[in-house]
Amino acid sequence: MKHKLAISIVSAVLFLLIGIITVSAQGSDKAILSAPTSTPAAAADRVVTTTVKSTAKAKVDTCYDCHAELLDKHPKVAADWKDSVHGAAGVSCADCHGGDPTLDQMKTSMSAAAGFIGVPDRTKTPEICGACHSNVERMRQYNLPTDQYSKYKDSVHGAKLAEGVTQVAICSDCHGSHAIKKASDPTADVYPLNVPALCSRCHSDAKMMEPFNIPTNQFDVYKSSVHGEALLGKQDVRAPNCASCHGSHDAKPPTSAEVVNVCGKCHTATQNYYEQSLHSQLKEAAPKCWTCHGNHDVTKPDENMFTHTASTEPVCTTCHDIQTLDLIVDKAKFANPDDRRCDTCHHQDSWIYEQVLSLKSAMTVADLAYKQGDVMIAEAIGRGMIMNDAESRLAEARTSLISARAAIHTTKLTEVTKLTDKADASAKEAQQMASDKLGENLFRREAMFVAMGVIITNIGILAVVRRRLYKELE
């Protein structure tokens, strides 16, 4: 406390000596010692300049003093600011709104002459924020990046804004204007768990999206996807939110060329496998992650993704350009999750269909062996047997099985069967261990019956002898 006071006094003295400020020595003095709104002392030596012209940088903040006392929304705005990161870091009203906070007359302090601009124009806002947030010197102490503004200019939001479309998202739409919070603050709208709801505020609004002709169901679809369930259901912040794939400041839909890298950010092993496949070498015609898994609606993959359940007529134009006979991928054909199957392209008469079936059966066999092992172990555990060995053998099986699932992305049968064979073998071993234990359990029960036989015989004998003894007693 004392320390802080010393710093304030020293810095105040400095201010006086350099004489940067226009305030009279007496006024400044008073501000330091008595003004309730004096910004934290540490901010005193920081000179903030923004594109907004404010004529004075001082410890007096008549904006706050008045607005905190006004009616309606004003006290809330003042309080929001005070609790915000900006309030704490000493970024004042005038830094964004202009004006002169040292003057205590509204007419002068909020005059154009004093640089007052009122509510910043939507098209100007990113620039105002960017003035500080692009400044490396200024952001270093907060460990904040400085590329948001340039990224924003590249985003769809930013580009549209530059065209004068003002309903696109600007900084304050996501971060708030006065009550700005850290992204790591769980109550912030930009906290990972809250991002989908934040984006959907606009993107689920059909009326708002109408001029842009884009769908509005992404949030609903996302919510029930594996990703949405992990993020919103299990509150797992590591699960991807909208920004993980689209970027935040640089928001844009990933292009077909990018998607493999986007998904591969997390699914590295799968990406490695995919890149070994013929699929990945098809360039434009390549099926990408989303061809089979969808984008917002990714669900848990399973063995049914190989072939259609009912037989379907293949449509040539799904994969072939009828004119040039080149290979293509008609993404629209994969919009329906039921059609995201290998045999959508590799139809029953194609020579790869055979391979699809072999992959499917290898996976199904291994999966079944694993599941059976699981059931048997559970049963043995239920009977009180200790199943550690079998459990770790089954974990081996599962490891190979999951690896095999990832290896499907190579589309190479030998790669996959290497792993499924391993999974199958481990699972069978685990099954064997479980059935041994179940056999031992049966033996225990049989032995118990023998022991009970002996005990009951003995009780019988003793009862007979006892009866005789009591008779003798009479």
Residues engaged in binding other proteins (CB under 8 A): 238, 267-270, 384-386, 388-389, 391-392, 395-396, 398-399, 402-403, 406, 444-445, 447-448, 451-452, 454-459, 461-466, 468-470, 472-473
Least distance in Å: CB of 258 to other proteins? 20
Q: How far apart are the first and last CA of the chain?
A: 100
Least distance in Å: CB of 419 to other proteins? 9
Comparing CB distances to other proteins, the nearer of 94 and 408 is: 408
Least distance in Å: CB of 395 to other proteins? 6
Least distance in Å: CB of 466 to other proteins? 5
Distance (Å, rounded) from C-alpha 38 to C-alpha 111? Answer: 23
Residue 200 amino acid letter: S
Helix, strand, coil percentages, rounded to 5, for the chain: 60, 0, 40
Least distance in Å: CB of 198 to other proteins? 24
DSSP bridge partners of 327: 320
Least distance in Å: CB of 234 to other proteins? 11
Comparing CB distances to other proteins, the nearer of 357 and 385 is: 385
DSSP characters over 43-55: GGG-----SS--S
| 269 Cβ contact partners less than 8 Å away, ≥ 6 residues apart | 403, 406
Least distance in Å: CB of 365 to other proteins? 20
Comparing CB distances to other proteins, the nearer of 238 and 371 is: 238
Distance (Å, rounded) from C-alpha 404 to C-alpha 370? Answer: 13
Distance (Å, rounded) from C-alpha 361 to C-alpha 197? Answer: 41
Comparing CB distances to other proteins, the nearer of 134 and 435 is: 435
Comparing CB distances to other proteins, the nearer of 142 and 443 is: 443
Comparing CB distances to other proteins, the nearer of 49 and 392 is: 392
Comparing CB distances to other proteins, the nearer of 9 and 465 is: 465
At 327, is the secondary structure helix, strand, or coil?
Answer: strand
Comparing CB distances to other proteins, the nearer of 106 and 452 is: 452
Distance (Å, rounded) from C-alpha 354 to C-alpha 56? Answer: 78
Ramachandran angles phi, psi of 64, nearest 5°: -65, -45
The number of helices, as runs of H, and strands, as runs of E, in the chain is 23, 0
Comparing CB distances to other proteins, the nearer of 113 and 461 is: 461
Least distance in Å: CB of 390 to other proteins? 8
Least distance in Å: CB of 355 to other proteins? 23
189-218: buried (b, 16+ CB within 10 Å) or exposed (e) per residue?
bbbbebbbebbbebbbeeeeeeeeeeebeb
Least distance in Å: CB of 190 to other proteins? 23
Count of residues making up the chain:
474
CB 410 within 8 A of CB 276: yes
CB 289 within 8 A of CB 409: no
Comparing CB distances to other proteins, the nearer of 13 and 459 is: 459
Q: Dihedral (C-alpha) 446, 451, 457, 461: value to the nearest 10 degrees?
A: 180
Ramachandran angles phi, psi of 297, nearest 5°: -105, 35
Least distance in Å: CB of 396 to other proteins? 5
Comparing CB distances to other proteins, the nearer of 113 and 459 is: 459
CB 128 within 8 A of CB 136: no
**Sequence-separated contacts (24+) of 221-230 with Cβ below 8 Å:** 221/296, 221/297, 222/196, 222/296, 222/297, 223/196, 224/297, 225/294, 225/296, 225/297, 225/298, 225/299, 226/298, 226/299, 226/300, 227/298, 228/196
Least distance in Å: CB of 272 to other proteins? 9
Comparing CB distances to other proteins, the nearer of 66 and 269 is: 269
